[in-house]
Amino acid sequence: MAVPLRDRLFYIYFLSMKTYLFTLSLAVFWSLLTPSFGVAQDIVAGKEKAAVCASCHGADGNAVLPIYPNLAGQSWRYLYIQLKDFKEGRRHNNTMSPLAASLSREDMINIANYFAAQPVKANPYVPDEGKMKLGKAKADETLCSMCHLGEFKGQNEIPRVAGQQYDYVMEQLRNFKSRTRTNDAGNMTSVAQTLSEADMDNLANYIVSLR
Ligand code: HEC
Ligand code: HEC
């Protein structure tokens, strides 16, 4: 028995709509899934690539000595930019520059995501109570929180400094002041000009005590 043409066309239309809707729902589902899936993949790949960093920055990004920065809990954007800056010569350090030079863009993204996802541990530095108070007052007066947010939590390209290592913080503030480190688009260079050695010591005592 012949099926009317209209019915046959409708059937073909029905089948193709079914395939279309199925594909569409798959695509929507996939796009919902992929962003978090991408970061998870970066973290897994980053863990392996970060093994060479462990001797100084700790396997979990909590530094083994106070001269090395913690990378744990830092924003991935900031870590990525610093690695890129070391590689391309905008920031220089005899240890880090050659290490970063051997990393590809993908390595940097993987490693930055791995360290950003690690929890920050309290570091063993015991801050001086008096200096902490003076440091907090100086931070309020200088409006550090305008960029670093309250309690130095950091945001996007602006680093978290809360709970960072004392020696490392002092070194960076001195480097910004003496213009040894200049990859900050002038933000920190001008702030650091207003700070004396005692101010830096007070600020570092305060910042290190933050969690
Ligand atoms: C031998 C010790 C050592 C090793 C190994 C090492 N680093 Fe570093 N790293 C340092 C030092 C020292 C600094 C501080 C440099 C400065 O003063 O500018 C630093 C700084 C950094 C910074 C900047 C942090 C900040 O807060 O601005 C990043 C990011 C970093 N290292 C990532 C890595 C990665 C990723 C690896 C592994 C591929 C690695 N490091 C291996 C010693 C090391
Ligand atoms: C106008 C914005 C701004 C203000 C205000 C500011 N900072 Fe920063 N700070 C930055 C930026 C941006 C960077 C990262 C620069 C880079 O990418 O290399 C930074 C980096 C730092 C670092 C180095 C962190 C690391 O991991 O290497 C320290 C320490 C720091 N700031 C402390 C302070 C303190 C203390 C104050 C207040 C006295 C302050 N900042 C005020 C923008 C600011």
Q: What's the CATH number where 76 sits?
A: 1.10.760.10
Closest Cα to atom 15, ligand 2: which residue? 184
Residue 51 lies in a domain: yes
- 63 close to ligand 1 (CB < 6 Angstrom): no
Q: Which domain holds residue 174?
A: 128-211
Question: For residue 73, is it left (φ>0), alpha (ψ between -120 and 50) or beta?
Answer: left
What pTM, to 2 d.p., does this model score? 0.88
- In this predicted structure, what is the pLDDT of residue 4? 77
Minimum CA distance residue for ligand 1 atom 5 = 53
Domain boundary pick from 120, 151, 169:
120
What mean pLDDT, rounded, does the chain reach? Answer: 92
Which ligand number lies closest to the CA of residue 115? Answer: 1
Domain count, the chain: 2
- Between the CA of 174 and the centroid of ligand 2 the distance, in Å, is 12
Of residues 52 and 37, which shows the higher confidence score? 52
65 lines ligand 1 (CB under 6 A): no
Q: What is the pLDDT of residues 97-147, one digit of tens each?
A: 999 999 999 999 999 999 999 999 988 899 999 999 999 999 999 999 999
pLDDT greater than 90 at residue 34? no
Question: Which residue pairs from 52-57 have beta carbons closer than 8 angstroms and sit at least 24 positions apart in sequence?
Answer: 52/99, 53/99, 53/111, 56/95, 57/115
Structural domain ending residue among the three candidates 90, 120, 150: 120
